[in-house]
Structure 1
């Protein structure tokens, strides 16, 4: 169970290709306060695209 003072928070990464594909991951809010951007595989595009953090 997550504590109220937990540093790691759950984030959703959405595809920049507009396909609606999403990944769930966690990030450390102290080390990376900016929005997360990762290159991951999008099965609908059948390729690697950028995924941006949504809030």
Structure 2
């Protein structure tokens, strides 16, 4: 099973984008992707209609 990966020139997941940016020495891009990922997690976790943690 493939958890994360990309088709060169077509797709890229956020973890792969962060990994590639770090290894190419582009920390600014890696930090922007990390911030974007944290923003999405925050918005999903604290949205008013979030029913994930309500049992």
* Fold equivalence (TM over 0.5): no
More strand, by proportion = 1
Q: Highest relative contact order (Cα 8 Å, sep 6+), 1 or 2? A: 1
More helix, by proportion = 2
TM class by smaller structure: under 0.3
